Amino acid sequence: MIGGSGLSAGIELENAQAIQVNSPFGLPSGMVTTGTLHGVRFSFLARHGAGHRIPPSDLNYRANIDVLKRCGVTDVLSLSAIGSLREEMAPGHFTMVDQFIDRTHGRENSFFGTGLVAHVSLADPVCPRLSQLAMEAARATGATVHPAATYVAIEGPQFSTRAESRMYRGWGADVIGMTAMPEARLAREAELPYAVLGMVTDYDSWRDFGAAVEVSHVLEVMEHNAQLARAAVEEFARRLPAEREASPIDTTLDNALVTPQNLRDPALVMKLDAIARRLFGERY
């Protein structure tokens, strides 16, 4: 689970412990809280760090995904605050995200690079199995949950202008946020099924009669949404099957690496000891 700093505090994990996990990609947002919930092993990471101290552009997305992989995580569910670009997706509602438009820039968006090139498919960027489970769990708590939405990821930290907001609507985007990219890209490279349960906090600035987005109103709605989100996580844990089925995402890298083994940069390969351990093993 990747979410707000207050998410794990309201969930009663058994044998909970906060651990510092190091990453060759730098410092993650903070410590990882691990424990069990209804018999299922969970790891929580506060995306913006304790006290929400890291802005979206400064998040070390690579380190965050890397440390979760090192903790033995097999699937990632993201809880994210989002703005709505559609009248029917009202503040207080939830939505599952199934597509992305990436408008971020300057963020490290791949674990691979010069010395080891990989091209993964991102046509379908979220895991439908994980999304379905999360949607059913959230609906069981009484939340209104929309089954699909296209998420436009902007750089931030400022909210969008009215002209931008209307342009994103014209592109077919349904919701807007600042953090799901490159998070979703990196999860796919790490062979981690990924889903986003978006918490609608406001209407973005596209409505002629609507007020501008104000953080005070966003935080007010977020407080209510967080209560529902914690209940949804509890229900999500109860609904997980006794045994996790194999996913095509588990083997994403099988046909993605294009650099021959004899030309790969050993230093970069070593940094991928968690991300691509399944392929590299102890050979390096």
Residue percentage of the chain with pLDDT more than 70: 91
Within a 10 A sphere around the Cβ of 239, how many other Cβ atoms? 14
**pLDDT tens, 225-244?**
778 888 999 999 999 998 99
Identify which of 181, 185, 187, 178 has the alpha carbon closest to the alpha carbon of residue 68.
187
Residue 263 lies in a domain: yes
User: Is 204 annotated as catalytic?
Assistant: yes
Q: What is the pLDDT of residue 222?
A: 67
Residue 1 lies in a domain: no
**pLDDT tens, 93-110?**
999 999 999 999 999 999
Residue 31 lies in a domain: no
Q: What is the pLDDT of residue 260?
A: 95
Residue 273 lies in a domain: yes
Q: Is the pLDDT of residue 79 over 90?
A: yes
Residue 178 lies in a domain: yes
Q: Is the pLDDT of residue 136 over 90?
A: yes
Q: What is the pLDDT of residue 218?
A: 63
Q: What is the pLDDT of residue 216?
A: 62
Which entry of 98, 174, 202, 250 is annotated as an active-site residue?
A: 202
User: Is 202 annotated as catalytic?
Assistant: yes
Q: What is the pLDDT of residue 70?
A: 97
**pLDDT tens, 147-199?**
999 999 999 999 999 999 999 999 999 999 999 999 999 999 999 999 999 99
Mean pLDDT over residues 137-143, rounded? 95
Residue 11 lies in a domain: no
Dump strand ranges (E) for the chain: 2-3, 14-19, 32-37, 40-46, 76-84, 94-96, 99-102, 145-146, 150-153, 175-177, 194-203
Residue 5 lies in a domain: no
Which entry of 102, 204, 208, 265 is annotated as an active-site residue?
A: 204
How many structural domains does the chain have?
A: 1
Q: Output the domain CATH number for residue 102.
A: 3.40.50.1580
Residue 55 lies in a domain: no
Provide the b/e sequence for 188-209 (b: ≥16 CB within 10 Å). bbbbbbbbbbbbbbbbbbbeee
| Residue range of the domain that includes 168 | 75-280
The whole model's pTM is what? 0.93
Q: How confident is the model at residue 224 (pLDDT cuts 50, 70, 90)?
A: confident
